Structure 1
């Protein structure tokens, strides 16, 4: 089954949390897909990723780009991964109905938004019932801490 990590954002925004996670994804030789609910957030992520140069540049593409299969990171409001990504990042309470095409799923949610926390709990319950391997990560001052 797919490894699904729930990432409880308590110290930074999703646009601040994503670059280090994506840097590690690319360093491991994997491609990523990022699914957003809205075009507004997709545009914010796109702008953020274009500005990142340290520790590494994060090349990415989205709808309208030629050769999406060559993009290391794919941004979308659709449930798609035309770059054949094995890592999926879910933003804005996006759900993954069939996660079996991915090795890992990163579900990032805003810990300061009660509705987002409640929605993450609902997704956790559904993914656990589906038999996925779940982990919970809480953002701490020194990075991510896995909770048991």
Structure 2
């Protein structure tokens, strides 16, 4: 089975603006998702943000402390776990990926204004290519959309 690995280069909007839009697309396709952050602090921040990112909407999600982790359409973690049996894994803030073999799609989102995140994304790109994954690179446009670059 081929695993698609997508790299989203944030340039004009922060993660908090871009991530919810991509998560909504996943839910529209009935995909279960795990979002892995680089720290518990960031996980807690995203947990709060996803409930309030729009005045008239929220993204249904959960964290370990909420319980019912296997029932969550979107699960936030700072670890390599996958209790909701997601087939899509987002990795943000230089999160170290677990084995991607159980996923159909992995999505790395990185801040193009942060040299450390750029360096980490380059490492992850080389790893994905070395493992034979289908890797694509998307750069954020000024309007917040995405343009495929590679």
**2:64 corresponds to which residue?**
63
Matching of residues 7-86 of structure 1 within 5 Å: 7-53=8-54, 56-86=57-87
Secondary structure of 2:21 counterpart: helix
Instruction: List 4+ stretches of structure 1 deviating above 4 A.
Output: 53-56
Tell me how many residue pairs correspond in the alignment: 148
**1:117 corresponds to which residue?**
118
The alpha-carbon deviation at position 53 of structure 1 amounts to 4.3
1:146 paired residue among 131, 145, 148: 148
The alpha-carbon deviation at position 122 of structure 1 amounts to 0.9
CA contact (8 A) 2:11 2:139 kept: yes
Alpha-carbon distance in structure 2 between the residues aligned to 1:130 and 1:118 = 19
CA RMSD, Structure 1 to Structure 2 (Å)? 1.4
CA contact (8 A) 1:95 1:123 kept: no
Consecutive unaligned residues in structure 2, runs of 5 or more: none
User: Deviation string for 1:31-73 (max 9, x for gaps)?
Assistant: 1100011111111111110103467431110112222111000
Alpha-carbon distance in structure 2 between the residues aligned to 1:97 and 1:58 = 24
- Please give the TM-score of this superposition, normalised by the length of structure 1: 0.94
Alpha-carbon distance in structure 1 between the residues aligned to 2:14 and 2:54 = 18
Consecutive unaligned residues in structure 1, runs of 5 or more: none
**2:94 corresponds to which residue?**
93
The alpha-carbon deviation at position 115 of structure 1 amounts to 1.4
- Please give the TM-score of this superposition, normalised by the length of structure 2: 0.93
Matched, 1:107 2:108: yes
